[in-house]
Structure 1
Amino acid sequence: MSASAIRGVGTALAMTGELLAGRYQLEQELGRGGMATVYLARDLRLSRQVAVKVLHAGLEARFAERFRQEAEVVASLKHPNVLEVYDFGEDAVRGPFLVCEWVQGENLRELARRLSPIPPEAVALLGWELARALEAAHARGVVHRDVKPDNVLVARGGPLKLADFGIAALADQVRLTSTGAVIGSLAYMAPERIDTGAFSPASDVYAVGVLLFELCTGTTPHAGEGSARLAVSVMTRDAPSLSAVVPGMPPVLAALVDRCLARDARDRPSDGAELAACLETVSRSLVGAPAEASRAFFQAPEASAARWCEERFQRLLGEGRALLEAGQGAQAARCLNVALRLRPGAPEVLALLRTRPRNRRMKVFVGSAVLGALLAFLGVWGWSSRRAPEGSTGSALVALADSAHSRPGGERSAAMAPDALGPLAPAKATEPMEPDAVGPRGAPEPIASHIPPPRTGAPRRPSPTPSHSKAGPNTEPAPQPMEASPSAPGTGATVQDAATLTVVTRPWAEVFVDGQSRGYTPRLREVRLSPGTHRLRFDNPLCDPVEEVLQVAAGETVSRDLSLRVREAEVTIVATVSARVFVDGVEVGVAPLRGPVKLAHGGHVLSARGPGGNVLRQTVEAVAGTRTTVVLEASP
């Protein structure tokens, strides 16, 4: 342990038993964070135990100011799922402190470890309680910014309470400016927070999605080694589908979690209210009325979880048995493996896993019989083809063989009809979609923009037996095979002639070529261009767009590595004449100010100290490129 850490522990031990602000007697240290230490204390005035969060000494004045502002805002939130704030004060020696209710219980991470595996019913109820807390906060314009299992408290007998509103985000900002990297709660941060630092109610929704995913699977969606890899994964890759990671998950819950984890904030539930409504619907489909079900769950979490797990085990066992009966061995194995996680070593599951699908042998027998018949038929045809009439063709037999072989049990297909005996039509090609064609919303661009235009006069596939196939009176001679020459998307130029544009932008941007969108970075990395001149535009609604004219030659590869400039917000601050105006604890002038103040995108604390010493404060969420007015004057 370092010397500074030893000194910190010694200071914490010395503080226990001390009297804070003449009212709160510190009894025991409960936890220590990057900017504050939490103590169990006794309120001597009201004779009750409370939790006291004491801000660490030596922090900048702007953090103390933000600490005070957050305390005032959270104290105004009165909701059963929000940790209640009782008091805020400043000790002459220890500095600012926050007093809140003491929850006797455990945090959500400890509960999840104790109940693992957590049944989907419990996950839905816990998510509903958490979403209700965010609904109350978002209704008052408060964004939590650090939703994670450690900040969710579960009292004995309930309810669930969300703690540390906005406070922990300050520590993130400290780490950002001092080390240049975001650590700590990175796994729960929305892509836009990592990319530009922007946050909104939808950012909290993303964090809830990560939390629900973790409760269901035991890991976060983008778990990996190191902060850098994790950040890149969150920004550039879609989260894995919950139903793919945990087979048998209720579809309504899996779909909602997937929606919460959308990389584009516009594709998520917009705020806590919408999320709470969605989770209420999910809970009703699983356990009935969520209010009653959650009360029963918190009264006996282990018994409730065990009952739900047993019900799910029996359901998976039945589904696995039915799938085996239907001959779907792979799907049955997935269901039964999930059942084994709920009850390891269950003999009835192991017995089913050793069972082969009942009709598998029958399928193999039927398929072998059909194949044998086809081979015999082809042998007879080979013998008789030497004496076949000149107008006969062998291509129909190939179609017959292909069709019969591709269908289970050798079912008779349309290829066996008499009108199928002409030359074979070319198989319909499935155009591969470029992986980079998917934008932040997760929806692909119009497929037509990525599919080469059809070639006129496309050749038919030649007959596999040209030596025995002759043109009849009403048929065209089979053309010779030729190489297809695909075109670059939307250009008319062949791939060999197309130029390649590689694109990297910070932050993300929508890429337009000649007025048409080609997708979003960082998912979009390469764009095919026809030789010539093109107009490029890189657009992000929070940044100044970048436009340029690009000249490319056939086969040329060019690259663009751009850093878009995030726009500043303009805030006009109106305050009492001669009042000193502060932004994030830094004085910007004396009212009336000469003009608007330019602020970076994100949250800021504005305050005005009047000639008499009274201070008015207001928190503002500055949105890049917008103009707002904030009034810091006392009401008459």
Structure 2
Amino acid sequence: MRNAMDRDCSDVAPDRVLLTRYRLAERIGIGACAAVFRAEDLRLSRPVAVKVFSAGPTSWESELAILARLQHPFLVTILDCGVWAEELSAPRPFMVMEYVAGSDLRAMIAKHSTGMPLAKVARLGWVLAQALETVHANSVVHRDVKPANILIDTSGLPKLCDFGVSRLHDSAEATIPGITIGTASYLSPEQALGEPVHASADIYSLGLVLLECLTGVKAFPGSALEASIARLLRDPVIPEWLGSEWSQLVTAMTDRVAADRPTATECTEALFELQLRQAAHAA
């Protein structure tokens, strides 16, 4: 069954040229209020990703404001934006981003059903924690850190993407009481309760992502309702075989008390130390 965004994008088709510059290729993603296309920048002869928003009211201005503040090697970069009106049933805001060739962390996890190598996860986490340092330093909360939003480039390095549900810390509309925003399997407890969220919510989600990388399974599987309720009742199960260092870090990151979680900077430092120890152990 076609969703509302699918119907809304029926006149945004491959081979169309946006503003005489961006030629759309295949659609590579679709969400509740936007669709993403692989495209070619005809002026600079380079691949890009074009995000076309719904014709109706959306949060696109908020997303653009967020992304314009964020510059980091491990964050997907915004290149251009505007409103596309030519030959469409209704004007649509759009955003042009760097195109990350490769796949995403979901595919990488699927290839390691019993878990990825510890050293590889330590490096992955170290990179993502650095990205979140920049996000949080700019007073932004991502609110949807999950494997599908972590792109893996051809060199194996991750880039955090999709700030569609992010909010600025200082925004008056940062959280609507009682409304849950994010993906159920990776929500923090405060998100599951529809409470105001802060940077610590991203740390919780990253902790669950790293645990899934280490074990090959989601910490809170099941339906959206089951997954949301489970994290309110228990902590994620951390296997003993991961060792004390991993156990202590993931336990801290997924503390149900938001104020007790480490910051992104503290996670970066801890994951860097884990890399060094595991490299020394391997040698």
TM-score when normalising by structure 1: 0.40
Are the counterparts in 2 of residues 85 and 99 from structure 1 also a CA contact under 8 Å? Answer: yes
Q: Note the alpha carbon deviations across 1:495-550, whole angstroms, 9 max, x for none.
A: xxxxxxxxxxxxxxxxxxxxxxxxxxxxxxxxxxxxxxxxxxxxxxxxxxxxxxxx
Q: Note the alpha carbon deviations across 1:83-119, whole angstroms, 9 max, x for none.
A: 1111111111441111100011110111122244312
Task: Give, in angstroms, the shift of residue 267 of structure 1.
Answer: 1.5
1:45 to 43, 46, 63: 43
Q: Distance in 2 between matches of 1:196 and 1:286?
A: 39
Q: Is residue 278 of structure 1 aligned with residue 270 of structure 2? A: yes
Alignment-derived partner of residue 235 in structure 1: 232
Q: Distance in 2 between matches of 1:6 and 1:130?
A: 30
Change (3 A) 1:74 1:169: closer
Are the counterparts in 1 of residues 112 and 216 from structure 2 also a CA contact under 8 Å? Answer: no
Amino acid at match of 2:104: N
Q: Distance in 2 between matches of 1:10 and 1:90?
A: 15
Alignment-derived partner of residue 119 in structure 2: 121
Q: Distance in 1 between matches of 2:117 and 2:130?
A: 21
Alignment-derived partner of residue 241 in structure 2: 248
Change (3 A) 1:197 1:23: farther
Task: Give, in angstroms, the shift of residue 7 of structure 1.
Answer: 6.7
Q: Distance in 1 between matches of 2:183 and 2:166?
A: 9
2:108 to 108, 111, 115: 111
Q: Distance in 1 between matches of 2:68 and 2:45?
A: 20
Q: Distance in 2 between matches of 1:164 and 1:230?
A: 22
The structure that has the greater radius of gyration is 1
2:97 to 100, 123, 127: 100
Q: Distance in 2 between matches of 1:76 and 1:214?
A: 30
Are the counterparts in 2 of residues 120 and 250 from structure 1 also a CA contact under 8 Å? Answer: no
Q: Distance in 2 between matches of 1:193 and 1:106?
A: 27
Change (3 A) 1:183 1:198: closer
Change (3 A) 1:143 1:136: same
Alignment-derived partner of residue 29 in structure 1: 27
2:193 is paired with a residue whose SS is: helix
Are the counterparts in 1 of residues 189 and 231 from structure 2 also a CA contact under 8 Å? Answer: yes
Q: Distance in 2 between matches of 1:254 and 1:82?
A: 27
Q: Is residue 71 of structure 1 aligned with residue 71 of structure 2? A: no
Q: Distance in 1 between matches of 2:63 and 2:4?
A: 28
Amino acid at match of 1:266: A
Task: Give, in angstroms, the shift of residue 70 of structure 1.
Answer: 2.1
Counterparts of 1:535-574 in structure 2, within 5 Å, are none
Are the counterparts in 2 of residues 183 and 227 from structure 1 also a CA contact under 8 Å? Answer: no
Are the counterparts in 2 of residues 127 and 212 from structure 1 also a CA contact under 8 Å? Answer: yes
**Residue identity (%):** 35
Are the counterparts in 1 of residues 144 and 182 from structure 2 also a CA contact under 8 Å? Answer: no
1:86 is paired with a residue whose SS is: strand
Change (3 A) 1:190 1:9: same
Q: Distance in 1 between matches of 2:203 and 2:161?
A: 16
Amino acid at match of 1:268: R
Alignment-derived partner of residue 145 in structure 2: 147
Cα RMSD (Å) of the superposition?
2.6
Return 5+ residue gaps in structure 1 as ranges. 171-175, 289-307, 312-636
Task: Give, in angstroms, the shift of residue 220 of structure 1.
Answer: 2.2
Q: Distance in 2 between matches of 1:10 and 1:204?
A: 31
Are the counterparts in 2 of residues 21 and 90 from structure 1 also a CA contact under 8 Å? Answer: no
Amino acid at match of 2:234: R
Amino acid at match of 2:13: M
Number of paired residues?
269
Are the counterparts in 1 of residues 82 and 93 from structure 2 also a CA contact under 8 Å? Answer: yes
Task: Give, in angstroms, the shift of residue 219 of structure 1.
Answer: 2.0
Are the counterparts in 2 of residues 23 and 45 from structure 1 also a CA contact under 8 Å? Answer: yes
Task: Give, in angstroms, the shift of residue 234 of structure 1.
Answer: 1.2
Q: Is residue 197 of structure 1 aligned with residue 190 of structure 2? A: no
Change (3 A) 1:227 1:69: closer
Change (3 A) 1:52 1:118: same
Alignment-derived partner of residue 214 in structure 1: 212
Alignment-derived partner of residue 171 in structure 2: none
1:88 is paired with a residue whose SS is: strand
2:93 is paired with a residue whose SS is: strand
Amino acid at match of 2:214: C
Amino acid at match of 2:62: Q
Task: Give, in angstroms, the shift of residue 35 of structure 1.
Answer: 1.2
Are the counterparts in 2 of residues 68 and 88 from structure 1 also a CA contact under 8 Å? Answer: no
Amino acid at match of 1:286: Q
Q: Note the alpha carbon deviations across 1:579-614, whole angstroms, 9 max, x for none.
A: xxxxxxxxxxxxxxxxxxxxxxxxxxxxxxxxxxxx
1:196 is paired with a residue whose SS is: coil
Q: Distance in 2 between matches of 1:39 and 1:238?
A: 38
Are the counterparts in 2 of residues 80 and 159 from structure 1 also a CA contact under 8 Å? Answer: no
